[in-house]
């Protein structure tokens, strides 16, 4: 009996040790979020939903800044519309990810109608907000490596995929600076298929069910005020195709007026890129990485121009 118990203990130890070993292998190929939570606290952030996560590339900004002698290093802490719409959950996580001693950070706040809308019957019923039980809300430690609690509680795939990711190139790869790179076929047929499916989803599900949330808009205000206390804030609306813009105008026709008023009130720059003429999209919603690079370069140059003229925040 004693020998049997020893064998059970040894076997259990080996199983646990194997799992922990696998956890140490987790990286940007493991899933789309892990490195957001296993990198150090930051001093300059990109925040928003999946449009920002895929579209805004810190490496582009950082190279531009460094070339001009600015040492701000941007980190992309954007997630998805379901995980990081503006609200108490996202603001709490941002506060954890930002170094509290930061005074001269640069913060790019990406906005769109979906980020300040809610699917709840009452769009201001905070108890019905969809992000409450998702990973941004349930990940208490956002700068721990390896982040064992995240992998135990929020990694929603079999753990063998962590090993598989080390030796393969998945369609989505998260960079150490938080940028989510998407590598999928970009031939016209593939893009058309994905775009039609995305537009159908938005037309049937997103447009009828989303309404402006004064609570979310208030938290966008709070988020901006918090970031302003640590540096310079820039509000960005990323480009989308014309049909997607039509959906957004249906849900929130006053959106640009709202953002313009907000930026005027807070003396901020509003970079409105809603015109999609010169950009390519992977699915009717998210920028293709080459177009994301183009937008990032343009925003970076505009920020530099502003920063050079107003070097002190």
pLDDT at residue 296, as a whole number: 98
Sign, CA dihedral 14-19-23-25, equals: positive
Read off the pLDDT of each residue in 21-49 and give the average, rounded to a whole number: 89
Average pLDDT over every residue of 41-53: 98
Tell me if 135 is assigned to some domain: no
Can you give the residue range of the structural domain that contains 192?
A: 42-127+171-309
Tell me the β-bridge partners of 174. Answer: 180
Phi and psi angles of residue 234, each rounded to the nearest 5 degrees, phi first: -130, 130
* Alpha carbon separation from 189 to 195, 283, 287 (Å, rounded): 10, 11, 17
Is residue 3 in a domain? no
| Number of domain units in the chain | 1
User: Is the omega angle on the peptide bond into residue 146 within 30 degrees of 0, that is, cis?
Assistant: yes
Q: Is 71 domain-assigned?
A: yes
Quick one: pLDDT band at residue 116, thresholds 50, 70, 90?
Answer: very high
What whole-number distance in Å separates Cα of residue 85 and Cα of residue 79? Answer: 9
Task: Kindly report the CATH number assigned to the domain that includes residue 103.
Answer: 3.40.50.1110
pLDDT score at 162: 82
Answer whether residue 114 is part of any domain: yes
Q: Is residue 21 part of a domain?
A: no
Residue 17 domain-assigned? no
pLDDT over threshold 80, residue 86 = yes
Q: How far is CA 30 from CA 84, 162, 224, in A?
A: 20, 5, 31
C-beta separation of 132 from 178 below 8 A: no
3-class secondary structure per residue, 61-76: HHHHHHHCCCCCCEEE
pLDDT surpassing 80 at residue 7: no
Condensed to tens digits (0 to 9), the pLDDT of residues 118-174 reads 998 999 999 999 999 999 999 999 999 999 999 999 998 888 788 877 777 788 999
Instruction: Let me know if residue 132 belongs to a domain.
Output: no
What tokens does 236 get?
């960005």
Give the tens place of pLDDT for each residue, 158-196: 887 888 777 777 889 999 999 999 999 999 999 999 999
Is 20 inside any structural domain? no
Decide: 30 and 270 in contact? Cβ < 8 Å.
no
């Amino acid at each position: 009996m004693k020998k049997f118990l020893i064998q059970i203990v040894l076997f259990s130890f080996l199983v646990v040790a194997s799992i922990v070993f696998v956890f140490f292998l987790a990286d940007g190929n493991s899933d789309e979020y892990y490195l957001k939570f296993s990198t150090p606290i930051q001093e300059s952030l990109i925040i928003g939903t999946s449009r920002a996560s895929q579209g805004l590339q810190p490496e582009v900004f950082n190279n531009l800044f460094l070339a001009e002698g600015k040492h701000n290093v941007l980190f992309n802490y954007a997630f998805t519309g379901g995980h990081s719409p503006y609200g108490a959950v996202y603001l709490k996580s941002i506060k954890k990810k930002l170094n509290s001693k930061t005074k001269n950070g640069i913060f790019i706040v990406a906005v769109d109608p979906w980020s300040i809308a809610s699917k709840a019957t009452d769009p201001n019923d905070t108890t019905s907000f969809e992000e409450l039980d998702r990973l941004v809300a349930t990940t208490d430690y956002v700068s721990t490596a390896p982040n064992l609690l995240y992998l135990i509680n929020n990694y929603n795939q079999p753990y063998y995929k962590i090993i598989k990711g080390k030796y393969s190139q998945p369609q989505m790869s998260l960079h150490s600076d938080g940028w989510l790179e998407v590598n999928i076929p970009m031939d016209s047929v593939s893009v058309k298929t994905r775009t039609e499916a995305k537009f159908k989803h938005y037309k049937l599900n997103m447009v009828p069910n989303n309404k402006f949330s004064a609570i979310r808009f208030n938290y966008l205000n709070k988020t901006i005020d918090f970031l302003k206390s640590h540096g310079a804030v820039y509000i960005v609306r990323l480009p989308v195709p014309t049909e997607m813009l039509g959906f957004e105008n249906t849900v929130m026709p006053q959106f640009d007026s709202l953002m313009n008023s907000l930026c005027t009130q807070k003396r901020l720059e509003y970079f409105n890129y809603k015109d999609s003429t010169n950009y390519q999209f992977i699915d009717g919603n998210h920028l293709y990485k080459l177009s994301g690079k183009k937008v990032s370069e343009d925003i970076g140059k505009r920020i530099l121009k502003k920063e050079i003229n107003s070097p002190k925040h």
